[in-house]
């Protein structure tokens, strides 16, 4: 943790909203993307992100300066998403399916492809959709760990802190999640 971040945290603990805004500005987009991937709905992701920021601001006084602020903050974001899903009984997670923008509007997020070769584009889109469908069939704990490690790129240690579990649990859960994902994909390919 650099001195500027430490100072912003200390100021935020005193209730300085400007310092808090400065502290979280680089994390907002990533936190929103995690919520969007977990919840698959733009309005829900915005609401949950906002709720998470409020929780973070209210509880920053309890933040232990010995640990990473980034990991502590993402733990609150992930837990807020999980709580929201429990309340709403939302089970689906997607990387790039159609997203509900509210007011009857929807968008289809697509993964960019720099290739002009139509065959490669078709194959890649088919493969992406197949993986997304397979991820959606996993149980929530497996979806979450795949999103954090394989999509967001968090380290095992960071995931351990975000999910409040030990490193061995993260490794074994990720291994089981990948194994289950592989099995689902193999079954899809046989169909």
Domains of the chain as residue ranges with CATH = 1-90 (1.10.1740.10), 112-191 (1.10.10.10)
Residue 107, classed as helix, strand or coil, is strand
Phi-psi region of 104 (alpha: psi -120 to 50; beta: other; left: phi over 0): left
> What per-residue confidence (pLDDT) applies to 40?
80
Q: Map tokens 């992100």 to a residue.
A: 49
Query: Using the 8-state DSSP alphabet, how is residue 96 labeled?
Result: S
| DSSP conformation letters of 155-175 | -HHHHHHHTT--HHHHHHHHH
Query: Using the 8-state DSSP alphabet, how is residue 41 labeled?
Result: B
Provide block-wise average pLDDT over 10 residues at a time, the chain (191 residues).
Answer: 90 93 92 87 92 94 88 92 83 50 57 47 60 82 88 89 91 92 83 71
Q: Map tokens 């960019």 to a residue.
A: 112
> What per-residue confidence (pLDDT) applies to 102?
62
Q: Map tokens 């309340």 to a residue.
A: 87
**Range list of β-strands (E), the chain:** 98-102, 105-108
Radius of gyration of the chain (CA): 18
Alpha-carbon gap, residue 170 to 173, rounded angstroms: 5
């Amino acid at each position: 943790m650099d001195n500027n971040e430490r100072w912003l945290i200390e100021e935020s603990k005193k209730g300085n909203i400007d310092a808090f805004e400065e502290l979280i500005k680089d994390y907002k987009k990533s936190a929103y993307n995690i919520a969007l991937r977990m919840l698959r709905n733009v309005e829900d992701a915005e609401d949950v992100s906002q709720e998470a920021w409020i929780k973070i601001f209210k509880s920053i006084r309890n933040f232990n300066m010995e640990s990473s602020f980034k990991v502590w903050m993402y733990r609150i974001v992930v837990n807020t998403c999980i709580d929201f899903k429990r309340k709403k009984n939302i089970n689906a997670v997607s990387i790039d399916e159609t997203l509900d923008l509210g007011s009857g509007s929807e968008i289809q997020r697509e993964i960019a492809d720099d290739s002009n070769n139509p065959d490669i584009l078709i194959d890649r889109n088919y493969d992406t959709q197949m993986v997304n469908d397979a991820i959606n069939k996993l149980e929530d704990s497996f979806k979450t760990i795949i999103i954090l490690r394989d999509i967001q790129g968090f380290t095992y240690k960071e995931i351990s802190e975000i999910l409040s579990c030990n490193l061995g649990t993260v490794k074994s859960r990720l291994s089981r999640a990948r194994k289950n994902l592989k099995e689902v994909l193999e079954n899809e390919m046989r169909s």
